[in-house]
Amino acid sequence: MSDDTKKAVQEVMEAVTQLRENNDKLLAAKADGKAVGDLTAKVEKISDKLDQYENTNQQIVLAQKTQQAQQEQLDRLETLLNRAAVGGGGAKGEDDAQKLRAAFDRVMRTRHENRAPEDVSLLKQHMAALVKGDDASAGYLLAPPDLERAILKDIIEMSPIRALATVRTIGAHSYKWPKRIGTGSATRVGEVQPRPNSTDPRYGMGEILAPEMFARHEVSQQMLEDSGYDLMAELREEVSEQMAVKEGIESVSGTGNANHQMEGFLVASGIGEVVSGHASQITADGLLNLFYELKTVYTRSAVWAMNRRTIRDIRKLKDNQGQYLWVAGIANAAPNTINGTAYVEFPDMPDVGAGAYPVAFGDFKRAYTIVDRVGLGFMPDYITGADDGLVVYRARKRVGGGVKKSEALKKLKIGTA
């Protein structure tokens, strides 16, 4: 551990100790009806110091989640590539798929002028069968079917939801999956009694659409000519950031397919909720009840989601045994935790307040799915605004998202009922 790191760890742990000492005094003073102005100011000042290290904590948490997702993707790809049969339709289908894959491998490893004509012809036939409409940005059109499903396009991961959720690249307008919407039943009968049909389970289809996200900007031709830096690159970066911001907002509170948005996990139907037990404040009992309301199988990979102001409130909470729920983990190069579980900052989560839902807890990878249909495309237009000296830049992508397994996620409501 470097000297700078040791110093940072020491500062954090000292701040944690000071926060708890002063917060204990603050709670005791409130209970005795004494003035708490100075103590409140002192606690807030120490919280400000701890906030300075919150970005480091978030980097640790998201890096771990991203690494887990990447490893799972590599494991799936390895399994896929090691299958004996890569095609369908029996022996002929398998043979055709193997020929296609072998041709693809030879083409990708050979310079353009040296590629075998028969390999190129085979891949062109495959491409002609795949091309549809204006899907010009669909990558790997020449790839064999198994690689098309496995290789994902580059994306800009700025919203925490992408590091936590399941991300799928799809080849149609929506992502569908079968789901059970009603359970069956069983009953008892006598030895010779009739056995009527019991209640049948019911099944349906879940669907997440991939609607279009669009941005349009106008820039003067002279500004492009005279700028001292790459203005086009700047515009690309700006659009990427704003679309990532839009994704983050919608993943929390988006209204879903009907309004061409992602479905927010705070507004999705089926997400269970737990009340805090206080009309306007967050409580330790509320958080603990939320933790234990989630099924054990999901708590193993679960994280808390909240904004930074809520994190500050939770740092001061103690359980019935007088133990603080928030524990600093930076001394061991581990994430900070709440009741032993890491948390992720979601700037778009609401603040603590009457009737609000400031905290969500669950296994986001199982609960939430993001679907990418068409990656970010950036199209400069030098014609439309030419008479006014303008260049029009249009950007678009097709992305959607929604809750797939609602029981893997719970939310906390500030209130008593």
Domains in the chain: boundaries? 71-150, 154-184+194-417
- Predicted pLDDT of residue 108: 63
How far is the C-alpha of 369 from the C-alpha of 403, rounded, in Å? Answer: 6
**Is the Cβ–Cβ distance between 218 and 391 less than 8 Å?**
yes
Domain covering 154-184+194-417, topology: Major capsid protein gp5 fold (3.30.2400)
Name the maximum alpha-carbon separation found in the chain: 93
- Predicted pLDDT of residue 87: 42
Which pTM was predicted? Answer: 0.72
- Predicted pLDDT of residue 131: 41
Q: Which residues of the chain have pLDDT under 70?
A: 1-5, 69-94, 108-109, 111-113, 124-159, 227-229, 330-333
How far is the C-alpha of 63 from the C-alpha of 61, rounded, in Å? Answer: 5
DSSP label at residue 159? S
How far CA 344 is from CA of 58, 255, 284, 310, in Å, comes to 6, 22, 18, 11
- Predicted pLDDT of residue 147: 46
Nearby residues of 374 by Cβ (< 8 Å), 6 or more positions away: 135, 137, 138, 210, 396, 397, 398
DSSP result, 2-65: -HHHHHHHHHHHHHHHHHHHHHHHHHHHHHHT---HHHHHHHHHHHHHHHTTHHHHHHHHHHHH
- Predicted pLDDT of residue 322: 92
Closest by alpha carbon to 11, among 67, 49, 45, 43?
Answer: 49
- Predicted pLDDT of residue 73: 57
3-state DSSP assignment of residue 374: strand
Task: Please report, in angstroms and rounded to a whole number, the separation of the first and last CA atoms in the chain.
Answer: 49
- Predicted pLDDT of residue 150: 41
- Predicted pLDDT of residue 91: 56
Q: Tell me which residue has tokens 């989601």.
A: 305
